[in-house]
Structure 1
Amino acid sequence: MPQREKLGYLVPQFPGQTHIFFWREIAEIEALGVTPVLLSTRPPPDGLIVHDWSQAAMARTTYLGAVSLARAARALPRLPWGELLREARRDGAGVLKDVLVCAAAGEALREHCAREGIAHVHVHSCGRAALIAAFAQHLGGPGYSLTLHGALEVYGPGQRYKWRHARFATVITRQLIAEMRAEQPDDLPPLVLRPMGVDTGFLRRDAPYVPVQPGEPLRLFSCGRLNVAKGHQDLIEAVRQLRAAGHDVTLEIAGQDDDGGSGFRLVLEQLIRQYGLQAHVRLLGAVDAATVRDRLLQAHVFALASWYEGLGVAYMEAIACGVPTIGTATGGVAELIDDGVEGLLVPPKEPEVLAATILRIAEDPDLARHLSGAGRARIERDFTAKLGAETLVEEMRRALSRDPRRRASRPPVPRT
């Protein structure tokens, strides 16, 4: 029986609270006959290990971030210092800090891939994890590819080096592709447009969506990390305005801050107390995927008021469940939500507009039902986890067939 192909699958701090779409993609890769070998930098904090699959994922994952002076001593002298110093002169000393942090992990990745027979590593990040993969390749390990999930500036320095040596990159929106080509046109591998996707079999409703009924409280739901850029404070302000105007509205927000509840959550809790909304707004913390689905199916409206969003898996999940969805007209969200078709778009940082849009859906049941049906159809067509897995496997095989090292050692991997 022929040995299954292996794909190194590197995600920082895996499995985190927002990583359900990685787990779905992993399952779809396996269904295509490829074995994903799970890799990460370090485990998540205990407070963010929330999914029913988290322990199984951690048991399968090799963590590369352990301090190893011996590996660092082997790796550091062999790195391309001329190239890295040029990056540091352009981007600042942060490049050299990242080199020191990532060198040993790069050697660990090279060793692991040699043991496992991994010929390609895909990195779902452009941060330090991408630098680790680039170092592993330079040290004699496999080639790598990247996925860009959001604005490049959040991923740290040294981007030209990371992208210059990648075999290919998948990018989740057309807008991000245009930004990359404008930012560093001479340092890009082949770019492939491919958004992440969701499991439409799991995220679905068994009965038609029912708009809010007269005399019934309007149930709002939101989901996302508790971070100022997610705009939860704007959504809470919109709820305050609606209730002050006499509308019976409740809100639940699923998600936790990166400090396990001791960070931005405290700011939101104080805001809820300040507005006297303790009986009407609940912070659910980090919850598993089944809980998110159940809350979506109970909600009349989903809203996420992000100040910036590359695309937005939370939006996809809500739309897949047939929940009328409000997003912000920022980042690549308009590539997912056509305003008035799959959902409604509002400007970020304008809670009064958000409040009016929530009320618009509540008062127009025909609009609510239209958004529910049209949104679900769009997700089924364009945003399933299977499409992302197929793209990744196809591009990996194409890249391996072009690799001169592979051609010299064995025939190209056949494409399906």
Structure 2
Amino acid sequence: MRVMIWNSARGGMRSVVDAYRRDGFIERENVRLIAAYCDGGFLRRQIVLLAALVEFAWLLATRRIELVHIHAAMRGSFWRKHLFASLARTFRVPVILHLHGSEMRQFYEAQRPQVQHLIRRNLEKSDRVLVLSESWRSFIERIAPAARITVVPNYVTVPARPAADGRDGAEVLFLGLVGPRKGTFDLIEAFAGVAARHPAARLTVGGNGEVEKAATLVGERGLGAQVSLAGWVDGEGKTRLLERSSIYALPSYNEGLPMSVLEAMAAELAVVTTRVGGIPELITDGVDGLLLEPGDKQGLEASLDLLLGDGERRRAIAAAGRRRVETTYSDEVVLPLLHRIYAEVAR
């Protein structure tokens, strides 16, 4: 049996594991899922963590685990998953540590030397460390030279080609945690600059977080008729938004390799986003997306202006983005790689 330790709370990590389940990887690889974190209050989260540790320890003690695949982000997530990794090593079970999140460098550099040593030790004692991009590989190699690192990007299942001709070209979409890190407020400010020039344009903001602050900003900018705050959306609701939208905007300040950008490109939306994390490895500026520096609200406004006003350019970028995902970031490319890693580590 293989065990996967994951985070069932809303967000990119859950989207990754949901994709594994949907595409049959969990069943094919005989993986048992154990959630170490969830949405909800403090008490509920502690109960989930304790139950996960007890279940995991029992499986280890009864010698049922061949390897453990641990999904970890930063801060609390990293330390929670460190508990599982340490338990697995006590029983000599191979550990695959799969790093997500967007602020690994900031997380590491903010720690005291003793804590940095513990982080490095966790990385170097793992049988394999999976990272989302080459930029992450370079950073981990620098701080933990003995770590055994493989780049495994996030992936999406590319849907059947959408009826792009049915899109009106005026729908802009944002999906993610509403707040400064994802650039939500920058996007609303930039959209305010183009709204008058494109009166048919509409922006949908899907996500939880600082929704009330976003609503206040929408009201202050007089955008109530053109901006809607949809709250958290997933499943069929997210699919419908992707099918009707033409432009995807994610002006983040920090990212790993965002699932939402991959999903938007696969659904043939023209993407405008920022040069952070693994995004520059995914998108070539002006070819299969538009790239900006974080915080460049003028550039964001100009990019939205271009995509809203030039349908031919928008469709060309969207089509190129879909092709990019099909060739490098699809289930047909990434899941065989993960299968090979499982086979190598389990030997």
Give the structure-1-normalised TM-score.
0.73
Q: How do 1:238-253 residues align onto structure 2 when only pairs under 5 Å count? A: 238-245=190-197, 247-253=199-205
What are the ranges of 5 or more consecutive residues in structure 1 without an aligned counterpart? 1-5, 47-62, 68-104, 258-263, 402-416
Residues 1:207 and 2:207 aligned together: no
Shift of 1:107: 6.1
* Counterpart in the other structure of 2:251: 305
* Counterpart in the other structure of 2:239: 293
Post-superposition CA distance 1:224-268 (Å, at most 9, x none): 1123200010110011111245644211011112xxxxxx22221
Residues 1:119 and 2:66 aligned together: yes
Q: Could you tell me how far apart the structure 1 residues matched to 2:198 and 2:237 are?
A: 30
Q: How do 1:99-118 residues align onto structure 2 when only pairs under 5 Å count? A: 108-115=55-62, 117-118=64-65
Contact 2:68/2:88 (CA < 8 Å) preserved in 1? no
Percent identical pairs in the alignment equals 22
Contact 2:70/2:85 (CA < 8 Å) preserved in 1? no
What are the ranges of 5 or more consecutive residues in structure 2 without an aligned counterpart? 42-46
Cα distance change, pair 204–351 in 1 and its aligned pair in 2 (3 A)? farther
Amino acid of the structure 2 residue aligned with 1:137? A
Contact 2:6/2:37 (CA < 8 Å) preserved in 1? no
Give the structure-2-normalised TM-score.
0.86
Q: Could you tell me how far apart the structure 2 residues matched to 1:333 and 1:385 are?
A: 18
Shift of 1:396: 2.0
Contact 1:130/1:162 (CA < 8 Å) preserved in 2? no
Q: How do 1:254-273 residues align onto structure 2 when only pairs under 5 Å count? A: 254-257=206-209, 264-273=210-219
Q: Could you tell me how far apart the structure 1 residues matched to 2:332 and 2:95 are?
A: 21
Contact 1:252/1:283 (CA < 8 Å) preserved in 2? yes
Question: In the alignment, which of 94, 97, 104 is matched to residue 143 of structure 1?
Answer: 94
* Counterpart in the other structure of 2:150: 192
Shift of 1:154: 3.9
* Counterpart in the other structure of 1:160: 120
* Counterpart in the other structure of 2:49: 65
Post-superposition CA distance 1:170-214 (Å, at most 9, x none): 11100111111122324x1x21111010121xx34342346646x
Question: In the alignment, which of 10, 19, 23 is matched to residue 24 of structure 1?
Answer: 19
Post-superposition CA distance 1:80-103 (Å, at most 9, x none): xxxxxxxxxxxxxxxxxxxxxxxx
Amino acid of the structure 1 residue aligned with 2:18? W
Count of aligned pairs? 328
Contact 1:211/1:368 (CA < 8 Å) preserved in 2? no
Q: Which protein is bigger by CA-based radius of gyration?
A: 1
Shift of 1:393: 2.5
Cα distance change, pair 374–32 in 1 and its aligned pair in 2 (3 A)? farther
